[in-house]
Structure 1
Amino acid sequence: MKNVIKKSILLVTVFTTMLSIANEIPNNIKKTYKETALTINNVSQGDLLTIKDYNGIVLYKELIKSNGTYKKGFDLTALPSGDYFFEVDKDMEIKTIPFTVNYQSVVFNKEKETSIYKPYLRQKGDLILISKLAPNLEPLKVSIYSELESGSELLYTQNIEGLQSIDIAYRLKKGSFKIVFNSNGKEFTKFINN
């Protein structure tokens, strides 16, 4: 019985010593982990999630593995203080979710979330049909190149402005073509064989 009491007193003493040592560790050495939960609805397998700084440098990249709702926790407080954004690159849309890191806090700016709609291209015989949503009347520049063995040759350029719903068609002869779209500060390229 005495051995049990001695062992119990020894264990209490060890735990008390460990707790007092842990309390003496300065705050700047202790690791604090603050996880921010990100939930994105209506994602598809193959969509690309990135975290970028405002210089466009990619800090994190992940291909989404399943359809539905994406949920993941991130320790964004590990980033240096500054402005950043999540970017979700889907088939027809690029969604940007901005946030600011200030020392140990993360603030999301819901008012500055944006969605950019990508141009959609369909081929129907020798017709190329292009559609794009532009809710804020964003201009769209379309450049059509002929793909040759010696390189690309610009055939046609068109700037489209002032429309919320862009629908255009081009008739192309037989051959290989590169179509470059510029809108919202981004460039999208499609290749077609006619």
Structure 2
Amino acid sequence: MKKTINVLKKSILLLAVSTSLLSNANDITVSTDAAEISKTAITLNHVKAGDILSIKDNYGVVLYKEQIKETGTYKKGFDLSALPNGEYVFEIDKNLEVRTIPFTVNFENVYFNKAKETTSYKPYVREDNGVVYVTKLAPKQEALSIHIYANNNSEYDLIHSERIKGIQSIEKAYKLGKGDYKIVFISDNKEYTTFINN
């Protein structure tokens, strides 16, 4: 009788989760299995092979990191209740964007805060005939700092620096002579580095 009740509970839970997934076609779905409080299932739609999924603590320390192996939908269960009390984030690092899903662990209970989910966009860099084109989407007009360094005998010297803010669609072009360059971008408290060899 007890086994039948457990099977019935799991069937109802599976039906509820399936209904939730079908009715809510978001890119990211997080659900907690009521039968096993320690398990949290995460579903990521529209992922590509090479995307990175990480779990980080409040200080940015990476506690878990995995490279997505297949394009499509990613599903996995995590035992987050074993983490110490504190603030954490799931981070999905895609080609041109980084999405974060914050959650809190409090005495083995896990709470997700959908209102604090964020998406930040990475700069896109393209080089053509000695001209470097930089574009970045900044929907909240967040600032972008750009630092260009030239390789001088294995040491990088800063040759240009600027900070752009108040624009939703940032577009810049830089004419660079022959050589090796490092471009460092800082935006949304994240740093991205691109190397150019022309």
Give the TM bin, normalised by the shorter chain: 0.7 to 0.9
3-state SS in 1 of match to 2:151: strand
SS at match of 2:110: strand
Q: Offset at 1:129?
A: 0.5
User: In the alignment, what sits opposite 1:93?
Assistant: 97
The residue number in structure 2 matching 1:82 is: 86
Q: Which of 174, 181, 194 is the matching residue for 1:190? A: 194
CA–CA separation in structure 1 for the residues paired with 2:128 and 2:147: 19
Mark the CA change 1:108 to 1:122 in structure 2 (over 3 Å): closer, same or farther.
same
Letter of the aligned partner of 2:76 in structure 1?
Answer: K
Over 3 Å counting, the alpha-carbon distance change for 1:150 and 1:68 in structure 2 is: closer
Correspondence for 2:123: 119
Q: 1:82 to 1:173 in 2, by over 3 A?
A: same
What is the alpha-carbon root mean square deviation over aligned residues? 1.1
* Structure 1 residue ranges (4+ consecutive) displaced by more than 6 angstroms after TM superposition: none
> Paired residue for 1:5?
none
Residue aligning to 1:55:
59
Distance 1:154 1:45 in 2: 35
**CA displacement at 1:66 relative to structure 2:** 0.5
Provide Cα deviations, 1:130-183, integer angstroms capped at 9, x if missing partner: 000001111011111111214011111111110011011111111111111111
Structure 2 equivalent of residue 169 of structure 1: 173
C-alpha distance in structure 2 between counterparts of 1:181 and 1:79, whole Å? 33
Relative to the length of structure 2, the TM-score reads 0.80
- Which residue of 128, 134, 155 maps to 2:138? 134
Corresponding residue SS for 2:50: coil
Percent identity reads: 55
The amino acid of 1:84's aligned partner reads: Y
3-state SS of 1:173 partner:
coil
Q: Cα offset for 1:34?
A: 2.1
Provide the C-alpha distance between the structure 2 equivalents of 1:179 and 1:162, rounded to a whole number of angstroms: 21
Q: Is structure 2 residue 155 aligned with structure 1 residue 151?
A: yes
Cα shift at 1:59: 1.0
Q: Aligned pair count?
A: 163
1:104 offset after TM fit, Å? 2.6
Structure 2 stretches of 5 or more lacking a match? Answer: 1-35
Taking the aligned partners of 1:65 and 1:172, their CA distance within structure 2 comes to 36
Secondary structure of the residue that 1:69 maps to in structure 2? strand
